[in-house]
Structure 1
Amino acid sequence: MRPTQALQGGGAPNPKIGQWLGDWGHFGGAKQKGVVTFGLSANRQNPFAGAAHDAIFNTFRRTKSQIFYWLPPMLAGYYLLSWATERNHYLNSKAGRAEFADEEE
C-alpha cells in the first residue's frame, strides 16, 4: 500500500508524486525542446561597425538633451574663477596693496 502524499510530505512536496519545481538553481521541470541558438565566430564580427557614425550623432543627441543641466553651472563657475583670479592679481599688485594696506590689521 502506498502512503498518501500528505503522509510523505513533511515540508516540500515529493517530486515523484506532486508538481515540484525544485530548489533554487535546480528547477526540476522538463527540458526545453526546439530552442535553437546561433552564434557568430569572433573573427567574423566587426566590433567597430558604425562606431564613427554613432559617435557623432549619438553624442550630439545626448548633448542636446542635457546641455541646460551642465552649461549654466559651468559658465557660472568659469565666471567666478576668472573674477577671483583677477581680484587676486589686483590685491597682490602695487595699486591693490596701496588701496587695502590699512585694512590688513
Structure 2
Amino acid sequence: MRPTQAMMGGGGDVPLGRFNKYLGGWGNLGGMKQKGIITYGISPNRQNPFAGAFHDAIFNTARRVGAQALYIAPPFIGAYLIMDWATHRNEYLNSKAGRAEFADEE
C-alpha cells in the first residue's frame, strides 16, 4: 500500500526509497527503530548547572598547574638567572671599576 500525499508531506519531492516506499521525515529516513537506547531528561527548573563549579575550578586549576610546573618552571628560572647575571654584569662594566679594568680592550 502506498502512502497518500498527506502522509508524504504534500508535494511531489518526497524521498522515496529503492522500492518506491516512503522513507520518513527528516532525521528519520526509513531506518529501523532503535532498540536499547534509553534517554533521560530533567526539567531546566530542576537543574543546578553551577553546583560545585567554583570548588571544582579551584582544585582542577591546582591539579593542572601542578602537572605543568616541571615544564614551565625550569625555563623561567633559567631565564631569570641569565637576566640577573646580565644586569649585574652590565652594571659592573659601566661602573668606575669595570671601566678601569676593561678600558684597554675597546
Q: TM-score, normalised by structure 2?
A: 0.56
**C-alpha deviation, 1:101, in angstroms:** 1.1
State the aligned residue count.
85
**C-alpha deviation, 1:58, in angstroms:** 0.7
Aligned to 1:84: 86
SS of the aligned residue for 1:100 comes to helix
Q: Following TM superposition, where does structure 1 have runs of at least 4 consecutive aligned residues deviating by more than 3 angstroms?
A: 26-41, 43-49
Structure 2 gaps of 5+ residues are 1-15
Structure 1 gaps of 5+ residues are 1-13
For residues 35 and 64 of structure 1, the distance between their equivalents in structure 2, rounded to whole angstroms, comes to 39
RMSD of aligned alpha carbons: 3.5
For residues 60 and 80 of structure 1, do their structure 2 counterparts lie closer, same or farther at Cα, with a shift above 3 Å needed?
same
**Larger relative contact order, structure 1 or 2 (CA cutoff 8 Å, min sep 6):** 2
After TM superposition, the structure 1 = structure 2 runs for residues 34-45 of structure 1, keeping only pairs within 5 Å, are 38=41, 41=44
Q: TM-score, normalised by structure 1?
A: 0.56
Aligned to 2:12: none
Cα distance per residue 1:18-42 (max 9 Å; x no partner)? 8xx9xxxx8833496898674755x
